[in-house]
Structure 1
């Protein structure tokens, strides 16, 4: 039971850090600033529904897809660990990573979506790849190993919980940003970056250990 609780907390923090609901609410607010309350909530719900569907597919069938290409879980954890650590490193320096926030540059430059494109905004860039990008998929695959349905179920449940938190952050994005301010956002972003960097390194070490690379070194 203790191991399952530890797994749940680890997965929750990993998803929370990489999705960063508060920071992503800035992007959401920029993309939906010209929409009404009802349309804004519809965009948030659609984006999170699509993101959850993507994560669900990879959690349940990702191993089959990777098996077709001959990719092992160890290789996935090594690549995912490097990817997540890089995202965390950039966040520590207050930079937007194109892996986790590809729309950040566009929104920072004041780009806006054309009228009537709320569905497109919900799917791209919000659902893919802001919410369900490579880092999220790598995290899902790493913590939902094939054949271990309890761990897979916990991973899916934790992502669903993060989706609920993200929805609330999107809906109340104006109030949240007004209270936190720019300095508070910078602190939160760097804290999430530190957590992501640590999680990425941990995933990398797990992948290296599972691949057997460390065995000869430890033998000496």
Structure 2
């Protein structure tokens, strides 16, 4: 059970990337009062939690309704996560997030960033939703599913901490250290993505 929790936690941590979202949130909320910043951070994580919970509990039923086998979804999800990993290794993911944040900043009428872009797609984006569904699909029994849900909750708690202390994280990490960490996590995510694909291929053709 502990190994499952650790594996799920690390996988979700790499995909959700709380330290990477912190500087983006800091730039999006520059000039906003501390109270409003805290409220938006809590709202963003709460909305993301609801989205992820829905897909964690009923995502498999949705696949069944659409006639999609779980093994096929593992292959597709693994490929998708591998693409995210490549973007992390070559720093394309960070650049895309920064470009999205800049567009929001350049639009004066946008004041509340909790729903977009923070909750969706930065926290509960396609990669995170795919990962949650894959992990829940691999979980066998109530206890294992509870471990996966616990890993989701733990990562969302880290996200709240990261958003609330975004300015401090930027000061401590700096851009160079953050880039190194992102690339290392990208390599780890690539290996996990390949394992998802292998499991899916074994399920379909094994």
Matched, 1:139 2:131: yes
Which residue in 1 is equivalent to 2:86? 89
* Aligned partner of residue 93 in structure 2, secondary structure: coil
> So what's the TM-score if we normalise by structure 2?
0.92
Matched, 1:149 2:142: yes
| Partner residue of 2:25 out of 4, 28, 31 | 28
> How many pairs does the alignment contain?
205
- Give the Å deviation of 1:154: 1.2
* Aligned partner of residue 174 in structure 1, secondary structure: helix
- Give the Å deviation of 1:35: 0.9
- Structure 2 CA distance for aligned equivalents of residues 63 and 198 of structure 1: 24
Matched, 1:44 2:36: no
- Give the Å deviation of 1:148: 2.7
- Give the Å deviation of 1:182: 1.2
- Structure 1 CA distance for aligned equivalents of residues 68 and 96 of structure 2: 26
Q: Judging changes above 3 Å, is the alpha-carbon distance between structure 1 residues 32 and 157 closer, same or farther for their aligned structure 2 residues?
A: same
| Partner residue of 2:166 out of 162, 173, 181 | 173
* Aligned partner of residue 181 in structure 1, secondary structure: helix
Moved more, 65-74 or 109-118: 109-118
**Higher RCO, 1 vs 2 (CA within 8 Å, ≥6 residues apart):** 2
- Give the Å deviation of 1:95: 1.4
Q: Contact 2:71 / 2:204 at 8 angstroms: preserved in 1?
A: yes
Q: Contact 1:88 / 1:196 at 8 angstroms: preserved in 2?
A: yes
1:98-109 equivalent positions in 2, closer than 5 A = 103-108=97-102
- Give the Å deviation of 1:199: 1.1
- Give the Å deviation of 1:114: 3.0
Structure 2: gaps (5+ residues): none
- Give the Å deviation of 1:115: 5.0
Which residue in 1 is equivalent to 2:120? 128
Q: Judging changes above 3 Å, is the alpha-carbon distance between structure 1 residues 116 and 84 closer, same or farther for their aligned structure 2 residues?
A: closer
* Aligned partner of residue 179 in structure 2, secondary structure: helix
1:176-187 equivalent positions in 2, closer than 5 A = 176-187=169-180
- Structure 1 CA distance for aligned equivalents of residues 4 and 100 of structure 2: 36
Structure 1: gaps (5+ residues): 216-220
- Give the Å deviation of 1:107: 2.6
Q: Judging changes above 3 Å, is the alpha-carbon distance between structure 1 residues 147 and 195 closer, same or farther for their aligned structure 2 residues?
A: closer
Q: Contact 2:28 / 2:104 at 8 angstroms: preserved in 1?
A: no
- Give the Å deviation of 1:108: 4.7
Structure number having the greater helix percentage:
2
1:201-212 equivalent positions in 2, closer than 5 A = 201-212=194-205
Q: Judging changes above 3 Å, is the alpha-carbon distance between structure 1 residues 116 and 105 closer, same or farther for their aligned structure 2 residues?
A: closer
